[in-house]
A and B are shown apart, each in its own frame.
Chain A
Amino acid sequence: DSGVTQTPKHLITATGQRVTLRCSPRSGDLSVYWYQQSLDQGLQFLIQYYNGEERAKGNILERFSAQQFPDLHSELNLSSLELGDSALYFCASGRTGVQETQYFGPGTRLLVL
Chain B
Amino acid sequence: GENVEQHPSTLSVQEGDSAVIKCTYSDSASNYFPWYKQELGKRPQLIIDIRSNVGEKKDQRIAVTLNKTAKHFSLHITETQPEDSAVYFCAASRGVFGAGTILRVKS
Binding site for B on A (CB under 8 A): 2, 33, 35, 42-43, 45, 48, 55-56, 58, 90, 97-107
Contacts and interface: CB of A to CB of B under 8 A. Distances in A.
A43 to B, nearest CB: 4
Contacts of A42: 89, 97-100
Contacts of A2: 43, 45
A24 B71 CA distance: 34
Contacts of A55: 94
Given A99-B31, A99-B32, A101-B34, A48 B95 contact: yes
Interface of B: 30-32, 34, 36, 42-46, 49, 89, 91, 93-100
B43 A56 contact: no
The 5 A-B pairs at the shortest CB distance, nearest first, are namely A99-B32, A45-B95, A104-B43, A42-B99, A43-B97
B93 A99 contact: yes
Nearest to A48: B95
B34 to A, nearest CB: 6
Contacts of A98: 94
Contact of A107 (B43, B49, B95): B43
Contacts of A106: 42-43
A58 B3 CA distance: 12
Contacts of B42: 106
A56 B99 CA distance: 20
Nearest to B99: A42
